[in-house]
Amino acid sequence: MSKIINLRIAKKQKSRADKQKQAAQNRIKFGRTKGQVEQIKQLEKKTQQLLDGHQLDTD
């Protein structure tokens, strides 16, 4: 005899598996490491300080 399966549950399980697979691909494609995020933050901070240093005060 074959095993009885609930098609509704099987459909949900397949959907979850597909979403997890897509999420893993997106993490690889768009994800950044912690070091890269820190490097970007430091660069933005340095750029902002440079711009603030060149700002003219018109008091």
Q: What is the pLDDT of residues 1-58, one digit of tens each?
A: 788 899 999 999 999 999 999 999 998 888 888 899 899 999 999 999 999 988 887 7
48 occurs within a structural domain = yes
59 occurs within a structural domain = no
pLDDT on residue 9: 96
pLDDT on residue 57: 79
5 or 59, greater pLDDT: 5
- Angstrom distances, CA of residue 35 to CA of 10, 38, 43, 49, 57: 40, 5, 12, 21, 36
Provide the number of structural domains found in the chain.
1
pLDDT(59) > 70 = no
The residue range of the domain holding 40 is 7-53
d(CA 56, CA 46): 18
22 occurs within a structural domain = yes
30 occurs within a structural domain = yes
28 occurs within a structural domain = yes
